[in-house]
Structure 1
Amino acid sequence: MTTAKRVRDPEAKRAAILAAARSVFAEHGYDKATIRQIAERAGVTHGLVMMHFATKAKLFVAAVPAQHLADKVVGDVEGLPERVARAYVERMTSAEGCNPFIALVRGAATDQDDAKSLLRAMRETSVEIYRGMLDDEDVPQRADMLGALFMGVAYSRHVLADGPIAAMTPDELIRYMTRAIRAILLGHDNI
């Protein structure tokens, strides 16, 4: 009797985990999705998921569609605010059921520890991206302020879905957000 030889392919397993996470988060939302469900769907162990991602929050941030902000904001610094606004609005429009800002806002009401963990993971990712583009010492503060803007817009537009921000077209929202992002990231006060 011959036994099947196990094939080790960490990148394939990581891709399977991310695909499973996207579908489980979309089906159950951030709060109700579990690492065990994701591992089972990916055909891997709970421990392997944790080895690759360490926390549910880090897995969520890595798995959500269009979360690869670094790819979307590449270019000159002066055009950065508009690219960030456009990437945010497009992500919010296309991935509403599996969006980190909506999950964070909704999750804060039910589980503050989970919400804090998700916020930390999102913050780390953002700071890393913006440090590569901006050379200011206060990049963590700017990234955090930008995150607060995004959460506020997510709350107004997608959770409460009421008021002028909720009523804006995507292009209008991009225009308004570009001005605010320009002030936050580049320090231009003429918003």
Structure 2
Amino acid sequence: MLAAARATFAERGFDGASIRVIATAAGVDPALVHHYFGSKDKLFLAAVEAPADPEDLLPEVLAGGTADLGANVVRLLLRVWDGPARAGGLALIRSAVSNEWTARLLREFLVARVLRRVVGTLDLPPAEAEARGALVASQLIGVVMTRYVLRVEPLASASTEELVAAVGPTVQRYLTGDVDLPGSVTPPP
């Protein structure tokens, strides 16, 4: 079931996949998928071997309101990565760098399960929300790669609050500030 789920999520994305399609690909009844995983969200988390369930974590990111989103997103990222989920997260990131299939799953996890929900609180036009979400993803993945994979100092040993103070304002600007969004700038002649 997990192999069928991974293939279906990678091919169709989270929104395009369904329990029925995944069950058919696995050669099982959809009730069996529901029995083992409960919901499409839980199946997706198992398929990508997600280090944490965003459903459990996003309320604290959103609790501070729009003005605190940048800092809260960075703080949550660091809390997850500094906790027991680090090993699974590192395996996912390292695999995504060299494997397109895993990269698609990671993109889908970031976009459908995390960033779309955060950016969705801002009431933006779809193209702007997508561009802002991509900018936030670039910053967060950069922090993960620099701090946890490459271990570049002083980021590798900085405290959570030091990184929240340094990176949070950039994430906040990507979410709510003035920024030239990809696709909206006309290149010079």
Q: How does 1:81-92 map to 2 (within 5 A)?
A: 81-92=70-81
2:113 counterpart residue number: 125
Indicate conservation of the 8 Å contact 1:108/1:115, yes or no: yes
Q: 1:173 to 1:157 in 2, by over 3 A?
A: same
CA distance in 1: counterparts of 2:136 and 2:100, whole angstroms: 20
CA distance in 2: counterparts of 1:153 and 1:118, whole angstroms: 16
Indicate the SS of the match to 1:75. Answer: coil
Q: 1:103 to 1:134 in 2, by over 3 A?
A: farther
CA distance in 2: counterparts of 1:167 and 1:143, whole angstroms: 27
Q: CA offsets, 1:94-151, max 9 Å, x none?
A: 121122xx34430124422122122112211124312441011211221122112111
Indicate the SS of the match to 1:79. Answer: helix
Q: 1:107 to 1:49 in 2, by over 3 A?
A: farther
CA distance in 2: counterparts of 1:133 and 1:61, whole angstroms: 25
Residue identity over aligned pairs, in percent, reads 21
The runs of 5 or more residues in structure 1 that have no matched partner are: 1-43
1:147 counterpart residue number: 137
- Offset at residue 46 of structure 1 (A): 6.7
Match of 1:173 among 144, 163, 169: 163
- Offset at residue 175 of structure 1 (A): 0.8
Residue type of the alignment partner of 2:175: L
Q: CA RMSD in A?
A: 3.0
Q: Tell me how many residue pairs correspond in the alignment.
A: 144
Indicate conservation of the 8 Å contact 1:130/1:139, yes or no: no
CA distance in 2: counterparts of 1:119 and 1:55, whole angstroms: 17
Match of 1:114 among 78, 84, 102: 102
TM-score (norm 1): 0.62
Q: Which has the higher contact order (CA 8 A, sep 6+)?
A: 2
Indicate the SS of the match to 2:79. Answer: helix
Q: How does 1:13-92 map to 2 (within 5 A)?
A: 49=36, 52-53=39-40, 58-59=45-46, 64-65=51-52, 67=54, 68-73=56-61, 74-92=63-81
Indicate conservation of the 8 Å contact 1:127/1:139, yes or no: no
CA distance in 2: counterparts of 1:171 and 1:98, whole angstroms: 24
- Offset at residue 173 of structure 1 (A): 0.8
CA distance in 2: counterparts of 1:49 and 1:140, whole angstroms: 33
- Offset at residue 48 of structure 1 (A): 5.2
Q: CA offsets, 1:63-92, max 9 Å, x none?
A: 533633421212321111111111111111
CA distance in 2: counterparts of 1:49 and 1:119, whole angstroms: 25
TM-score (norm 2): 0.63
CA distance in 2: counterparts of 1:53 and 1:45, whole angstroms: 12
- Offset at residue 181 of structure 1 (A): 0.8
